[in-house]
A and B are shown apart, each in its own frame.
Chain A
Amino acid sequence: MTNKTKEKKPTRRDFLYITTAVFGATGAAAVAWPLIDQLNPDASVSALSSVETDISSIPEGGSLKIAWRGKPVFIRRRTKEEIEIAEKEDNENLPDPQNDADRVKNKEWLVVVGVCTHLGCIPIADKGDFGGWFCPCHGSHYDISGRIRKGPAPTNLEVPPYEFVNENIIKIG
């Protein structure tokens, strides 16, 4: 066999090289995946991803901070005035536009994850320029609907999945 024909026609050896490489790469990927996926949340972490809380004791204008997935969740019972302000400010120039009505299931109750969307600190209630929350770490201001109004945070406070089990109980997650 001359060199020329060798170049043109794949040999049995080429076939062996390629199949071996593909087989090896598949094997390596199959071994790599468990090693990477073990870093993801395990079953015990995922199991904690829903909590139920009694909210009957919260007065109007009061709020409760509970832990969900290791993060705080703010449950706030808003006053009539606060609801009015939140709805009126739908028309303000918002960095992350969202209507107050889209952020609540029941106007009276605002439920948001209490983690600043900038770098994960916990905002302080009843502080800041917009009557809602203020993050002390890098100065983000949120309004009474948990919407970002001023500062480096890119988005509004996250609304977790939740439902009212009955009048007194809320289930988060």
Chain B
Amino acid sequence: MNHDYEYTPGNAFTKWLDKRLPLIRFADENLLSFPTPKNLNYFWTFGFILTLCLVTQIITGIVLAMHYTPHVLMAFDSIEHIMRDVNYGWLIRYIHANGASMFFLAVFIHMFRGLYYGSYKEPREILWILGVVIFLLMIITAFMGYVLVWGQMSFWGATVITNLVGAIPLVGESILTLLLGGFSVDNPTLNRFFSLHYLLPFVIFGVVILHIWALHVTGNNNPTGISVKNTNDTISFHPYYTVKDLFAYVVFLLMFAYFIFYNPNILGHPDNYIEADAMVTPAHIVPEWYLLPFYAILRAVPDKLMGVLLMFGSIVVLFFLPWLDTMKVKSARYRPTYKIFYFTFLLTCFLLGYLGGQAPEGLYLFLSRVCTIYYFAFFLVVMPILSRYEKPSPMPIGISNSAINTDLGTDKNPALSINN
């Protein structure tokens, strides 16, 4: 990014420091004076919200680990100990448990924003891919964390999900045994899940740093999808976006607080307050709400291996998005046809979430199949076809110039030089 402004150390100490470890310069360039498109809407505040979600989970998680016991005989009781005996243990656990849901809510909005405004397109492919890596790590971490509670849903969720690995031909069973550390979900499984559940958030933190780094190389996308041309199009991150992000975060916290204080168990499953029993399966096994769409895809297929492949495929396909949608116009604002398919896709994802919580039979099963087909068709059929044939609607010349660009499909307009 070109910016006219440069950090200059103010006093003798900062000058001395700047020559040895340019920490203040780094913070200034990346957090304070970082040039940001001036037209970002509230959908762009979720990156900031997500960073704070991660920090919240790490802090509450470290505290919970001080009181939790990762052993099959004591895990469930130690959770109750946290809830009843530990000072403010109920609060910390409810923040952590509902925090996971809030984290996923925010990440879904963040991803659907990227999908709408074409934030995965050139030159932000790596940025998008790192985001999908974070999403995948989040799913694994959340799943392992849910198992630690050692309730019935924890145990049977773990059994069903680890058994997915068993669907792999030939080596599946051996990998499954290796994963579980036994012949079924048991103490070795609980121990390693605890170890990894503690580790992975820090791995996520590392990938988040790469994600932000990649963002700061290419700069933000924006609602028009038109590239930033010059400093007229940007404002400094601080104070403009620090304030906007903080305001959005406070609103987000209000909703978060509603769940923590007024409805802390609404997003969980009551069966998880029954201790794990390897001899009794609950009548209806469901994952946490944020995994329901993927669960619906798994169950839509009558074949075990195909179901597993499609479920993983539904996330893997996201990695290839930048090369499936090659339309030069980024933002759906100027893509009338894409917009229709996009909102149908959004609806499909909601519907899959609903269907994932229903019994896989009759109409539910039929709808799951229709939705699964559309989920993949959106990426593999609609996107490539629209990239070739869709006619974008008229676009403005630039972020600061609302005059209509006559040269459609590109934002590199020679007329710009006149405006500058």
Interface size class of A (residues with CB under 8 A): 20 to 34
B357 to chain A, nearest CB (A): 14
Assess the B181–A42 pair: CB atoms within 8 A.
yes
Assess the A72–B160 pair: CB atoms within 8 A.
no
Q: Closest chain B residue to A72 by CB distance? A: B279
Beta-carbon contacts of B90-111 to A below 8 Å, as 1s and 0s?
A: 0000000000000000000000
Assess the A70–B179 pair: CB atoms within 8 A.
no
Assess the B285–A41 pair: CB atoms within 8 A.
no
Beta-carbon contacts of A29-64 to B below 8 Å, as 1s and 0s?
A: 000000010011110010001000000000000000
How many angstroms from the CA of A137 to the CA of B359 in the assembled complex?
Answer: 8
Assess the B182–A69 pair: CB atoms within 8 A.
yes
Given known A-B contacts A119-B163, A120-B160, A154-B304, A67 and B279 have beta carbons under 8 A apart: yes
Is B299 located at the chain interface by the 8 A CB criterion?
A: yes
Assess the A39–B183 pair: CB atoms within 8 A.
no
How many angstroms from the CA of A5 to the CA of B171 in the assembled complex?
Answer: 48
A39 to chain B, nearest CB (A): 5
Interface size, chain B (Cβ < 8 Å)? 33
Assess the A41–B160 pair: CB atoms within 8 A.
no
Q: Which residue from A45, A121, A136, A138 sits with its C-beta under 8 Å from B182?
A: A45
Given known A-B contacts A45-B188, A70-B183, A71-B184, A137 and B160 have beta carbons under 8 A apart: yes
How many angstroms from the CA of A65 to the CA of B304 in the assembled complex?
Answer: 26
Q: Taking chain A's interface residues, is the majority helix, strand, or loop, or is none over half, making it mixed?
A: loop
Is B284 located at the chain interface by the 8 A CB criterion?
A: yes
How many angstroms from the CA of A88 to the CA of B285 in the assembled complex?
Answer: 35
Is A131 located at the chain interface by the 8 A CB criterion?
A: no
Total CB contacts across the A-B interface at under 8 A? 80
How many angstroms from the CA of A72 to the CA of B184 in the assembled complex?
Answer: 10
B153 to chain A, nearest CB (A): 12
A43 to chain B, nearest CB (A): 12
Is B263 located at the chain interface by the 8 A CB criterion?
A: no
Q: Which residue from A36, A67, A120, A122 sits with its C-beta under 8 Å from B163?
A: A120
Q: Which residue from B156, B188, B302 sits with its C-beta under 8 Å from A152?
A: B302
Q: Which of B30-89 contact A (CB under 8 A)?
A: none
Given known A-B contacts A41-B181, A45-B182, A71 and B285 have beta carbons under 8 A apart: no
How many angstroms from the CA of A120 to the CA of B159 in the assembled complex?
Answer: 6
A152 to chain B, nearest CB (A): 6
Q: Which of B159-178 contact A (CB under 8 A)?
A: 159-160, 162-164, 166, 177-178
Given known A-B contacts A39-B192, A137-B285, A152-B307, A69 and B160 have beta carbons under 8 A apart: no
A38 to chain B, nearest CB (A): 9
B88 to chain A, nearest CB (A): 36
How many angstroms from the CA of A13 to the CA of B361 in the assembled complex?
Answer: 68
Q: Which B residues are in CB contact (< 8 Å) with A72?
A: 278-279
Q: Which A residues are in CB contact (< 8 Å) with B280?
A: 122
Q: Which B residues are in CB contact (< 8 Å) with A119?
A: 159-160, 163-164, 304
Is B303 located at the chain interface by the 8 A CB criterion?
A: yes
Assess the B178–A36 pair: CB atoms within 8 A.
yes
Assess the B281–A136 pair: CB atoms within 8 A.
yes
B48 to chain A, nearest CB (A): 38
Assess the B182–A41 pair: CB atoms within 8 A.
yes
Is B186 located at the chain interface by the 8 A CB criterion?
A: yes
Residue contacts A-B, CB under 8 angstroms, 10 given: A45-B182, A45-B188, A69-B182, A69-B184, A70-B184, A72-B279, A115-B184, A119-B163, A120-B162, A152-B304
Q: A42-B181, A136-B283 are in contact. List 14 more A-B contacts (CB 8 A).
A: A41-B182, A45-B182, A45-B188, A67-B279, A69-B182, A70-B183, A70-B184, A71-B183, A118-B304, A121-B160, A138-B299, A139-B360, A152-B307, A154-B304
Q: Contact residues of B with A, CB < 8 Å?
A: 156, 159-160, 162-164, 166, 177-179, 181-186, 188, 192, 278-281, 283-285, 299, 302-304, 307, 359-361
In order of increasing CB-CB distance, the 3 nearest A-B pairs are A70-B184, A69-B183, A120-B163
